[in-house]
Structure 1
Amino acid sequence: MIYQTFEPHSALSDFINCYWTLKSPPEDKPEKQRIVPDGCMEMIFHHGDLYKQYIKGDNYIIQPKCFVFGQITKPLYIEPTGETNIFAIRFQADGFTPFAPIPISNMENRAVPLEELFGEAGMILQHKILEVTTTEEQIQIAEDFLLNALKNAKQIDKTIKDSVAMMLELKGQLSIDELSESMKINRRMLERKFASVIGVSPKQLAKIVRLQTTLKMVLKNDFKSFTEIALDNHYYDQAHFIKEFREFTGVSPKEFYAENLKLSNLFTESE
């Protein structure tokens, strides 16, 4: 698999985290992949073969050709049906809302086809992106679409943007009462804003941000023990750490570490 990221236009940096591409040669054997929540929604364009999305056990659906995936609140399992060739837009945590024609809450854990979201304009965007062959052309088409949509987009909610910035700065290690006090807004009002703008509660997003910080430590092997990770990331205790980790990844920290170590060894052996 070849994965690359690209920076967005400065006029869209408040909304877009990055563009990314993922490609695999035809000889690569398709394998099931686990996607862990990261608080960001994505717009996906499949130039290659489509992906299975597992619903329960071995039951699956085939994802649309082009879609926006809503907030993920649990581990998501997908699997290529053949050759992978993806162009995608990763939005900031609150980045897709200004463009969303339907409530964000209706998109949770769903791959929503572009046609369902944008009608004919979505189909035209899909056709244009799939017709070109270079990443530079794909980015230009995507940015033309988003910049044009931005003219009539909803106003950015400064409270939410500042709240997300604080969560990221503190790595999710703050209570919602602390956040609402800092933002000078009633807790219930803050929760309603998060539900409509981001699609998850402030508590859920804080947990996801903290998890992502934890995963980086695990993936970089930057820890001496799992107890140290739990303490560094302000989990109440080891049991709390394991419970939250399993909630979002579907496995325990030790199982996740072992899987990553095995994957790292495979790449090392192939070099």
Structure 2
Amino acid sequence: MQNLNEYTIPETLQPYVKSVLSFQKSGPDHLPNDMPFFADGCPGIMYMESGADIFLNRKKLSALFLYGQTIKPINIYTFGEVNAIIFFLYPHVIRSLFGIRADELRDNCVDLELLPFPEAKHVRERLSASTSTEARKAVLSDFLLRLTKRKKIVMDRKLIYATSRLTLAKGDLPLKTLRTDIQVSERTFERKFREHVGISPRLYARICRFQSAMMQLQSDNYSKLTDIAYDNGYADQSHFIRTFQEFTGHTPSDFLNGFTQDNP
């Protein structure tokens, strides 16, 4: 990826939006321009502008879509140059803000215009007419802000606490401790996680651990893979490699080789 940029989140959206990133990626018009994405624990809204159709596997994508938890590694591709902006949402936001069970969007996405928001088509048209990333950020920020005002948004404070604790602990926190802290049964905890986050608490913790290891791998802050494994609570290097392959489809070494070629 090229020209990767991070943007300040408007204060009014900080309870809902974790981060905002944009990127540009170019390639020959006759060759697929691949964009791999891996589990990060967050759903999001993405707008992609390209001179050609955009595909997820063989599924043609809308330029503006809402996506859920990504578990399996996915590859979005188009041809030629692509400009994209992504609003990464907090893991518990989908149900409260969009009225959709989060588990319905697991490893899936939906055209924003298919949701019951009459302004969505107008949002896409405004995005298409925008000539800068800052302008697109403003359009999407305005759309999300209007969503928060459509009705009183009630978010589950216990889930916010649980996901925040797991993220900060890099997944290394007993789930029983969390359930005790927020005083819910195991069954209720599982049900609420699947409805609002889209996956089980155990899987979310595994993704938090994987993301921590991924960041350490990309930062080159290690001497050998065993360091990453032990620093992030894996039993051994083999366990880390198996988990990494599960979430990316590559070994850490193969991923790094491709990463240095295709990303900033």
Q: Same fold by TM (over 0.5)?
A: yes
Change (3 A) 1:87 1:260: closer
Q: How does 1:53-68 map to 2 (within 5 A)?
A: 53-54=56-57, 60-68=58-66
TM-score, normalised to structure 2, is 0.90
Change (3 A) 1:230 1:114: same
- Return the match for 2:38 from 23, 36, 47: 36
* Corresponding residue for residue 47 of structure 2: 45
- Preserved contact between residue 15 and residue 96 of structure 1 (Cα < 8 Å): no
* Corresponding residue for residue 210 of structure 1: 209
* Corresponding residue for residue 237 of structure 1: 236
| Deviation (angstroms), 1:30 | 4.3
- Gapped runs of 5+ residues in structure 2? none
Query: What whole-Å deviation, never above 9, does each CA across 1:150-199 have from its counterpart, x for those lacking one?
Result: 12153011011111111121111123222212322212211111111111
Question: Structure 2: which amino acid aligns with 1:102?
Answer: I
Mapped to 2, the partners of 1:250 and 1:137 lie a distance apart of 35
- Gapped runs of 5+ residues in structure 1? 55-59
* Corresponding residue for residue 24 of structure 2: 23
Q: Superposition RMSD on alpha carbons, in Å? A: 2.1
Q: How does 1:1-271 map to 2 (within 5 A)?
A: 1-25=2-26, 30-49=32-51, 50-54=53-57, 60-151=58-149, 152-262=151-261
Query: What whole-Å deviation, never above 9, does each CA across 1:86-117 have from its counterpart, x for those lacking one?
Result: 22211122233322132221111112001112
- Preserved contact between residue 41 and residue 96 of structure 1 (Cα < 8 Å): yes
Q: SS in structure 2 opposite 1:47?
A: strand
Structure 1 stretch displaced more, 17-26 or 125-134: 17-26
| Deviation (angstroms), 1:237 | 2.6
- Preserved contact between residue 24 and residue 84 of structure 2 (Cα < 8 Å): yes
Identity, in percent, stands at: 24
- Preserved contact between residue 66 and residue 126 of structure 1 (Cα < 8 Å): yes
Q: SS in structure 2 opposite 1:200?
A: coil
Mapped to 2, the partners of 1:180 and 1:61 lie a distance apart of 39
Question: Structure 2: which amino acid aligns with 1:105?
Answer: D
Mapped to 2, the partners of 1:143 and 1:227 lie a distance apart of 42
Change (3 A) 1:231 1:64: same
| Deviation (angstroms), 1:31 | 3.4
Query: What whole-Å deviation, never above 9, does each CA across 1:118-166 have from its counterpart, x for those lacking one?
Result: 3432212211222222233222222222222112153011011111111
TM-score, normalised to structure 1, is 0.87
- Preserved contact between residue 2 and residue 22 of structure 1 (Cα < 8 Å): yes
Q: SS in structure 1 opposite 2:15?
A: coil
- Preserved contact between residue 102 and residue 117 of structure 1 (Cα < 8 Å): no
